[in-house]
Amino acid sequence: MEFISIISIIGTVIGLLAVCIIALKHKRNRYQKFLFLVFIFSLTYNAFLTFLVTSGLLLNYPHFYRTASPFIYCIPISLYLLAKAIGKNQDAPTRSDYALFLIPLLHLIELTPFYFQNSAFKLEHLGNLTANPNIMVFDKVSLISSHWHYLFQFSLGAILMTITFLKTLKYRQNPRGNSRKRKLIWINRISLFLGTCFAILVLLLLIDPENLNIYTYGAFLINLALLIVFLGLFLEPHVLYGTFHSGNLKVRLPAKGGTTGSLSDQDLAFRALIENFFETEVTYLEPSFRQADLATHLNLSRNALSAMINSSFKMNFNELLNEKRIDYTLKNLEDTKWEHLSLEGIAREVGFKSRTTFNKAFKLKTGCTPSKYRTTQILE
């Protein structure tokens, strides 16, 4: 048990570090960032509760009892939805996504009456926790016993991780793909490991759980999975920080006084990288998006990025950003989610702070104003 306690506290500390980095530095869109945070925080909180149980400290802090249970549901659900969001470039959940998060929410509601009980009441349920940690598996503090919840949690985890693994398996055929593919490859590996852990735990619960030290096995597997996930994060920093992987592109600033001429191989490679960024990311639609943010995504200095944009696109960063925002506008102008928006509302939706700037960029791209373009589209 001491070994598991050590793994748990190490996992908790590393997990908290990862949560802070994601919260402060991660560059994905808000929905994907939220899912990533839920996944890492759920793993971290389970590690923390495992530490309290295996060290016996839970007896001193009984109010933490059963608080990790809803987060066990969140681990596979959030990773599954994250893979789906990255794969489809989602920036908001669908109805089915909301439905999945109803599962841990309903479990939380089910446990709420127990959470409001006093310490003495909770200590009665804990009993001799140090000698028998299986109390955590077989107690009944809600409508459904913990044993059945664990069985459903691990079964759901095995199913969702299997689906995630199969759906992301194709991305491993081209490991040198763009940043989006590399993130999905990371998810593919993690889902395989987590799915295996969940499947083993289901088997242990079905075989002879009362005679097996099921909680010890479960705690070991979950914390081992946590350490593997965190190790993978720090070995793949572009996943942790949400940065856009620029591969082995070596940026050389143009010689002073030199001419750009025709596009070189480096220019073409950089242009493809930038185009891929605007196709797979949506952070540039936020009004706060700046050249420094793109430079961070591409792991380049601002000077190098500016020089490469000038060389590859024959325009500056703001001109390129406005053009890409207008491209996104044209692509989504007939979408039903925009049908009730005014032109000023659409301008804000794609990152413009003023309608004047939006109109100017739109006319530069299409040759007419947004209102005239929209009227023409309706008449057609």
DSSP 150-167: HHHHHHHHHHHHHHHHHH
Same domain for 156 and 287, yes or no, is no
Of 199, 225, 241, the residue at which a domain comes to its end is: 241
Q: What is the pLDDT of residue 262?
A: 55
Same domain for 211 and 133, yes or no, is yes
Residue 304 phi/psi, 5-degree rounding, is -65, -45
Q: What is the pLDDT of residue 212?
A: 62
Q: What is the mean pLDDT of residues 209-219?
A: 71
Could you report the per-residue pLDDT of 56-95, keeping only the tens digit for each? 888 889 899 889 999 999 999 999 999 998 888 777 888 8
User: CA distances (Å), 226 to each of 92, 153, 194, 221, 235, in order?
Assistant: 27, 17, 9, 9, 14
Same domain for 330 and 285, yes or no, is yes
Q: How far apart are the C-alpha atoms of 105 and 222, rounded to whole Å?
A: 21
Count of domains forming the chain? 2
Same domain for 15 and 64, yes or no, is yes
Q: Is 250 inside a domain boundary?
A: no
Same domain for 221 and 279, yes or no, is no
Q: Is 293 inside a domain boundary?
A: yes
Same domain for 117 and 232, yes or no, is yes
Could you report the per-residue pLDDT of 248-304, keeping only the tens digit for each? 455 554 544 444 445 567 777 788 888 878 887 778 888 888 888 888 777 778 888
Q: Is 260 inside a domain boundary?
A: no
**How many Å separate Cα 274 from the centre of its chain?**
22
Question: Do residues 130 and 56 make contact, with C-beta atoms less than 8 angstroms apart?
Answer: yes
Q: Is the pLDDT of residue 200 over 50?
A: yes
Same domain for 213 and 276, yes or no, is no
User: What CATH number does residue 152 fall under?
Assistant: 1.20.1070
Q: What is the mean pLDDT of residues 211-231?
A: 77
Give the amino acid at 314. K
Residue 243 phi/psi, 5-degree rounding, is -80, 160
Of 225, 241, 257, the residue at which a domain comes to its end is: 241
Mean model confidence pLDDT for the chain: 82
Q: Is 256 inside a domain boundary?
A: no
Query: Residue 111 belongs to what domain range?
Result: 2-241
Same domain for 200 and 291, yes or no, is no
Same domain for 271 and 236, yes or no, is no
Q: Is 258 inside a domain boundary?
A: no
Same domain for 283 and 182, yes or no, is no
